[in-house]
Structure 1
Amino acid sequence: MLSISNLNFYFGSRALYEGASLHIKPKTKIGLIGANGTGKSTLLRLISGEYTPDGGTISKSGDCTIGFLNQDLLSYQTDDSILNVAMQAFEKQLELQKDIDKVLHKMETNYEDKDIDLLAKLQEDFERLDGYTIQSRTEEILEGLGFSTSDLDRPLKLFSGGWRMRVMLAKLLLQKPALLLLDEPTNHLDLPSIEWVEKYIHDYEGSIVVVSHDRYFLDRTIDNIAEVSGAKITLYPGNYSFYMEEKALRNEIQKGAFENQQSQIRQTERFIERFKAKASKARQVQSRVKALDKIDIIDDVIDEKAKVNFKFNFGTEPGRFILFLEHISKAFGEKVILKNTSATINRGDKIALIGANGKGKSTLLRIISGTEQIEGERRTGHNVIESFFAQHQLESLTVENTLIDELKATGTTKTEMELRSVLGCFLFSGEEVFKKIKVLSGGEKSRVALAKVLISEANFLLLDEPTNHLDMQSVNILIQALQQYEGTYVVVSHDRYFVTNIANKIWYIEDHEIKEYPGTFDEYETWMATRETSKPSAAKTISKPKPELAPVEAKTPNQAKQIEKLEAEIMVIENNIASIEAQMVDLANAADYTGLKKLEADLATEKGKLSSTTASWEALI
């Protein structure tokens, strides 16, 4: 259907593609992956015709129509409703509808037989193109992408960039081109919308090339992986998980071949060096020099699994409780986000705040940070030091600063060598640390902003969509960094692989309340699936979910105070027991049996207190 052969494309002196080839067959679904800056989005623009190759050919069959979703569409604005914008996909049907309306309008005053024939033909063509279903199909796709029915008549310009992107995605899906090019389609989608798009793409009858850093999304939608690396494109059959296995096997084979070749080269070079001055060996030496010149060098395997070893410094250790939210309510006009809800964040909590867009995740994150006005009470715990990462903070980077100076500006106590090591963990090596912020891509700026957060010595982090614009290697680095972080954090993210690897609790908003699931994201998904399929009906009742899967309400500040008080009492009782036991040893050595008997009674009393207090504590935690 579409063939790329010996493609060359350069940015200045830098080769993005050199002798690259890729063949896209009908009904093939390809995930295009690679590090930031390798040219994935550029390849989509070359295929769509926006860019012209510097060499090679891109040829397509006559029936290959192309639809391209790119990030530039975020800025598109119009006064038209989102329903009308999406329905622009049906260009032929809309033209026929206009012609039908004209004929009907004419027949109101001038009824002629030829108009009846024309109307019948137009209506027949309209029906053949399923014209009578275009509005219902458009509504279905828009609502699948997260829009409410009341949103459909609102002007596109009233929506944020992310929501406008959804409208353009809907329009593209309705057009059903033979080849669909998608550049990071999940970046601006919430989890329900991502799952809807996954199913749609899985069932899509055309071919798809999608650039994505969402591993779960690729596993569920594509059947081939095209990896961009070293100015070449390598195609792997199978989904992303299979690619990882196949890539490891290929790397192992390539590593062995590289080491064997290097060994042969060293032996040849030693022979040349040893005998180059001997006339009797001149012919053999010359032969080996020529052989070295002709050798096709095998590249070493690039280690893409960067290992991170951060040393987090907390100037201050916080108390057990990080934050109390008590009887919180928040609304924007008639839109209620939270209503009389309470929650507590404990030291060591790694919380992922998930859910559909519009439910209030970012609002709740701002409430936690103290930057959103609320009804109710928000209190931080003892010695809590907070740091907040959000996408808009990329704009607060000082563009004239170098990377190293930007990190120094945080006031960190780390040395320049330590800061260079941190930047190295975020894939900025060598002289790159002296790059200016203004020349960085969006993904590179995200890495710098995240590095600033992680060296801030804060013991409580708030991260809003930190994986947006990061490639897979950078996401892996962030996962490793957060796994080593000993403090507390709350993360808003739609990246399921990321959330699975960094969270020990799941928060979500339901019925205007903060709900907590006490486990990992995988466990939460299992529980949610069980809950959805086991909802009670009038005809039957259902058993309660297993205790280990049931969500719990977040601790209220009053419960937290009770727990803290009981823990203090337990500590006093344990100290009393230890003191009594020490006195009993002394009295036993002194043969004071009267005093010993009294201490035994005191010991029994304290142990009884310990048992009852511990039971009360266990009932609350």
Structure 2
Amino acid sequence: MIAITNLSYFLGDRALYDGASLHIKPKQKIGLIGLNGTGKSTLLRMINGEFQPDGGSISKAGDCTIGFLNQDLLSYQTEDSILSVAMQAFERQNVLQVQMDKILHDMEHNYTDDLVDKLARVQEEFEALDGYSVQSKAEAILEGLGFSTADLNLPLRQFSGGWRMRVMLAKLLLQKPSLLMLDEPTNHLDLPSIQWVEKYTQNYEGAVIVVSHDRQFLDNTIDTTVEVSGGKLNYYAGNYSYYLEEKALRNDIQRGAYENQQAKIRQTERFIERFKAKATKSRQVQSRVKALDRMDVVDQVIDENAKVHFRFQFTTQPGRHVFQLEDASKAYGDKVILDATNISMERGDKIALIGANGRGKSTVLRIVAGTEPIEGKRRLGHNVSFTFYAQHQLESLNVAHNLIEELKYANPTKTETELRTVLGCFLFTGDDVFKKIKVLSGGEKSRVALAKVLLSQANFLLLDEPTNHLDMQSVNILIQALQQYEGSYIVVSHDRYFVENIANKIWYIEDHQIKEYPGTYEEYEIWVEERGLQSAVSEKVQVSSAPPQKSQPGPANQTKSKPQSNEDAQKLKKARKQIEELEETINNLEIRKAETEGKLAEPGIYNDSVALAEMNRFYTDIKQKLEKNTEDWENLMLEVEELSGK
């Protein structure tokens, strides 16, 4: 569908791409990954025709259409309703609708056979293009992205940048281009919307390229990973988790090849140095010199997974109780956020506050910080000192300071060496520490602000969307820092991988109350799913137990009907048999998976690209079958439990 061949692109004298190649196939779901500044967004703009490559070519099939969601769309404003903006995707249907309206208006004043024929032709084309359902499609996608029905007729101008981005995403999804390119689509989405986009992308009929720092989003949506590194496009036939495993394996192989080659080079150089002055060895010396010149040098493996080796300390230990709300209520006019809620946290609690946008998560953080007035009581515990991180607080950085000066301001007791260590943890090395704040990118400012938070010696942190604008390496560093942090914190985030790795409790807002789940995010998700299943089973039981509609009211007719024991017994027997068959299938698949992993670990396989690609496809197919059979097994186990309990 799209072929990128020997692509080159330069920024000044720096090569973003140098001889990079990639083929994008129909229906392929690609995750484009790499460190900030490696040129991911630049590649998307070249594919879209906005930038021209300095060398090589990007060729597209004649019928290929492209839809590109990028951060520039945040600036688009209009007085048109968000439904109208989304429906701009249906260009031909909109033209036909205008024509039909005009013909019908003309027919009211001058009814002729020509107008009737013209209307019939227009209506026939309109119906062939499914024009009568386009509005319902637009409404469904907008509501899937978090808009209420009442929002649909409001002007786009009234919405914030993040919500405007959702409207532009809806428009692109409705256009259904051959290739859908999404640049950081999750930055402005809440959890329910992210999960909705995941499902939509999984079932999207065209090809997709996603640039995202959300690991779980990538794992759930892509089947191919393309890494931008060293000016090349490195292809991996699997999702992000597969990429990590495969990358580690390739690095091990490359590291071994590099060490072997370096040993050979040292040995050859010693020979040359020892015998270069001897005439009898001149031919052998020259032969080895030429061999060194002809040698294809194996690059040294660069470890991109930075480790945090810094202990973030605070001088004052808090009491057992860190924070408490009693009968707290908060409302903005008619919109109620909290209603007589009670919640508390203790020393060592690491809490993730999650949920849909508009529920009041950021408001809760401001309430905890004491900057948002409430009805009820707010109490900070003994010796509790806190600091608050939010995106808008990046503006509080002193743009005249360099990085060392800014961190020194946050903690004057630290030496320059200690501050350099902290900055190194956040990917600022060498002379980077003397950069002025004013020249930093948004992501770099975020890293400086987070470093300041962790240096503040506060024993209680409030973090509002700390992973926004951070690449995966920076998110990994923040995870390590928070795992080492010995204080307490509340974090608002929509990054599920991040939340899973830093939280030991989950807070969520439901029925205007802050509620707590005492476990990790993964455990919380399982609990939510089980609660949903129990609710569905409860409703099912209530429906099946209701008296028949045509029966006359009376005590006898109000008695709950009993389930058919014979039918349930048959279902139970069938389910148990299916479970046995699935267990055997899963066992065989696990054996095949282990065998394939063993073959992939053999260095020889990487000398044959065709065999490697086939082996990777085979391995991916086994993994998908294993996941599907395991999911079916779990569903059947739930069914058996339900039937056994009757």
Q: With the length of structure 1 as denominator, give the TM-score of the two structures.
A: 0.86
SS of equivalent residue, structure 1 residue 15: strand
Amino acid at match of 2:130: D
Rounded to whole Å, the distance in 2 between the matches of 1:204 and 1:521 is 28
Amino acid at match of 1:235: Y
* TM superposition shift of 1:267: 0.7
Amino acid at match of 2:210: V
Q: 2:497 — aligned with what?
A: 497
Tell me if the contact between 2:6 and 2:18 (Cα under 8 Å) persists in the aligned partners: yes
Tell me if the contact between 2:144 and 2:193 (Cα under 8 Å) persists in the aligned partners: yes
Tell me if the contact between 1:305 and 1:473 (Cα under 8 Å) persists in the aligned partners: yes
Rounded to whole Å, the distance in 2 between the matches of 1:39 and 1:58 is 16
SS of equivalent residue, structure 1 residue 359: coil
* TM superposition shift of 1:313: 2.1
Rounded to whole Å, the distance in 2 between the matches of 1:241 and 1:228 is 17
* TM superposition shift of 1:444: 1.3
* TM superposition shift of 1:180: 0.4
* TM superposition shift of 1:411: 3.5
Question: Any idea what the Cα deviations from partners look like across 1:6-26, whole Å, max 9, x if unmatched?
Answer: 111111111111111111001
Q: Is 2:86 the partner of 1:86? A: yes
Q: 2:99 — aligned with what?
A: 99
Rounded to whole Å, the distance in 1 between the matches of 2:86 and 2:314 is 51
Higher helix share: 2
Question: Any idea what the Cα deviations from partners look like across 1:375-422, whole Å, max 9, x if unmatched?
Answer: 111111111111111011122222232111111121331100000000
Amino acid at match of 2:201: I
Question: Any idea what the Cα deviations from partners look like across 1:520-549, whole Å, max 9, x if unmatched?
Answer: 0000000000001111322479xxxxxxxx
Q: 1:252 — aligned with what?
A: 252
Instruction: Answer with 202-211 or 436-445: which moved more.
Output: 436-445
Tell me if the contact between 1:18 and 1:231 (Cα under 8 Å) persists in the aligned partners: yes
Q: 1:367 — aligned with what?
A: 367
Rounded to whole Å, the distance in 1 between the matches of 2:33 and 2:118 is 52
* TM superposition shift of 1:286: 1.7
SS of equivalent residue, structure 2 residue 244: helix
* TM superposition shift of 1:310: 1.9
Amino acid at match of 1:113: D
Tell me if the contact between 1:33 and 1:226 (Cα under 8 Å) persists in the aligned partners: yes
Q: Is 2:198 the partner of 1:188? A: no
Q: 1:134 — aligned with what?
A: 134
Rounded to whole Å, the distance in 2 between the matches of 1:540 and 1:359 is 35
Amino acid at match of 1:309: H
Q: 2:290 — aligned with what?
A: 290
Quick check: which has more Rg, 1 or 2?
1
SS of equivalent residue, structure 1 residue 509: strand
Rounded to whole Å, the distance in 2 between the matches of 1:125 and 1:391 is 49
Amino acid at match of 1:515: K
Rounded to whole Å, the distance in 1 between the matches of 2:286 and 2:439 is 49
Q: 1:59 — aligned with what?
A: 59
Rounded to whole Å, the distance in 1 between the matches of 2:12 and 2:118 is 58
Instruction: Answer with 117-126 or 529-538: which moved more.
Output: 529-538
Amino acid at match of 2:515: K
Tell me if the contact between 2:340 and 2:513 (Cα under 8 Å) persists in the aligned partners: yes
Q: 1:13 — aligned with what?
A: 13
Question: Any idea what the Cα deviations from partners look like across 1:450-494, whole Å, max 9, x if unmatched?
Answer: 111111111000000111111111111111100000000000000
Q: 1:429 — aligned with what?
A: 429
Rounded to whole Å, the distance in 1 between the matches of 2:409 and 2:53 is 43
Cα gap change, 1:84 to 1:64, in 2 (>3 Å): same
Amino acid at match of 1:352: A
Rounded to whole Å, the distance in 1 between the matches of 2:439 and 2:8 is 24
In the TM superposition, 1:297-308 aligns within 5 A as: 297-308=297-308
Q: 1:162 — aligned with what?
A: 162
Amino acid at match of 2:406: E
Tell me if the contact between 1:412 and 1:456 (Cα under 8 Å) persists in the aligned partners: no
In the TM superposition, 1:224-243 aligns within 5 A as: 224-243=224-243
Rounded to whole Å, the distance in 2 between the matches of 1:254 and 1:53 is 30
* TM superposition shift of 1:433: 1.0
* TM superposition shift of 1:438: 2.0
Q: 2:376 — aligned with what?
A: 376
SS of equivalent residue, structure 2 residue 187: coil
Q: 1:476 — aligned with what?
A: 476
Rounded to whole Å, the distance in 1 between the matches of 2:412 and 2:290 is 56
Tell me if the contact between 2:341 and 2:514 (Cα under 8 Å) persists in the aligned partners: yes
Rounded to whole Å, the distance in 1 between the matches of 2:400 and 2:285 is 55
Q: Is 2:181 the partner of 1:204? A: no
Rounded to whole Å, the distance in 2 between the matches of 1:128 and 1:528 is 42
Tell me if the contact between 1:17 and 1:231 (Cα under 8 Å) persists in the aligned partners: yes
SS of equivalent residue, structure 2 residue 337: strand
Tell me if the contact between 2:103 and 2:115 (Cα under 8 Å) persists in the aligned partners: yes
Tell me if the contact between 1:412 and 1:455 (Cα under 8 Å) persists in the aligned partners: no
Rounded to whole Å, the distance in 1 between the matches of 2:299 and 2:400 is 37
* TM superposition shift of 1:93: 0.4
Question: Any idea what the Cα deviations from partners look like across 1:287-343, whole Å, max 9, x if unmatched?
Answer: 212221221111111112211122122121111111111111111111111001011
SS of equivalent residue, structure 1 residue 20: strand
Amino acid at match of 1:466: P
Rounded to whole Å, the distance in 2 between the matches of 1:158 and 1:55 is 44
Rounded to whole Å, the distance in 1 between the matches of 2:253 and 2:443 is 32
Rounded to whole Å, the distance in 1 between the matches of 2:394 and 2:278 is 65
Rounded to whole Å, the distance in 2 between the matches of 1:266 and 1:441 is 42
Rounded to whole Å, the distance in 2 between the matches of 1:353 and 1:263 is 53
Rounded to whole Å, the distance in 2 between the matches of 1:181 and 1:442 is 22
Instruction: Answer with 280-289 or 364-373: which moved more.
Output: 280-289
Tell me if the contact between 1:47 and 1:58 (Cα under 8 Å) persists in the aligned partners: yes
SS of equivalent residue, structure 1 residue 409: helix
SS of equivalent residue, structure 2 residue 424: helix
Tell me if the contact between 2:313 and 2:486 (Cα under 8 Å) persists in the aligned partners: no
Tell me if the contact between 1:324 and 1:380 (Cα under 8 Å) persists in the aligned partners: yes
In structure 1, list runs of 5 or more residues that go unmatched.
Answer: 542-621
Rounded to whole Å, the distance in 2 between the matches of 1:269 and 1:69 is 54
Question: Any idea what the Cα deviations from partners look like across 1:545-587, whole Å, max 9, x if unmatched?
Answer: xxxxxxxxxxxxxxxxxxxxxxxxxxxxxxxxxxxxxxxxxxx
Rounded to whole Å, the distance in 1 between the matches of 2:474 and 2:22 is 26
In the TM superposition, 1:182-581 aligns within 5 A as: 182-535=182-535, 536-537=538-539, 538-539=542-543
Rounded to whole Å, the distance in 1 between the matches of 2:279 and 2:86 is 81
Rounded to whole Å, the distance in 2 between the matches of 1:294 and 1:261 is 13
* TM superposition shift of 1:236: 0.3
Question: Any idea what the Cα deviations from partners look like across 1:424-443, whole Å, max 9, x if unmatched?
Answer: 01111111111122222211
SS of equivalent residue, structure 1 residue 308: coil
Tell me if the contact between 1:145 and 1:193 (Cα under 8 Å) persists in the aligned partners: yes
Rounded to whole Å, the distance in 2 between the matches of 1:516 and 1:378 is 17
Rounded to whole Å, the distance in 1 between the matches of 2:342 and 2:75 is 39
Rounded to whole Å, the distance in 2 between the matches of 1:46 and 1:404 is 37
Q: 1:112 — aligned with what?
A: 112
Rounded to whole Å, the distance in 1 between the matches of 2:435 and 2:58 is 35
Tell me if the contact between 1:463 and 1:490 (Cα under 8 Å) persists in the aligned partners: yes
Query: Aligned residues, how many?
Result: 541
SS of equivalent residue, structure 2 residue 205: coil
Amino acid at match of 1:506: I
Rounded to whole Å, the distance in 2 between the matches of 1:402 and 1:293 is 44
Instruction: Answer with 267-276 or 392-401: which moved more.
Output: 392-401
Cα gap change, 1:412 to 1:540, in 2 (>3 Å): farther
Rounded to whole Å, the distance in 2 between the matches of 1:437 and 1:12 is 23
* TM superposition shift of 1:232: 0.6
Amino acid at match of 2:363: T
SS of equivalent residue, structure 1 residue 463: strand
Amino acid at match of 1:140: A
Rounded to whole Å, the distance in 2 between the matches of 1:34 and 1:54 is 21
Work out the percentage of aligned pairs sharing the same amino acid. 73
* TM superposition shift of 1:156: 0.7
Rounded to whole Å, the distance in 2 between the matches of 1:522 and 1:342 is 25
Tell me if the contact between 1:328 and 1:376 (Cα under 8 Å) persists in the aligned partners: yes
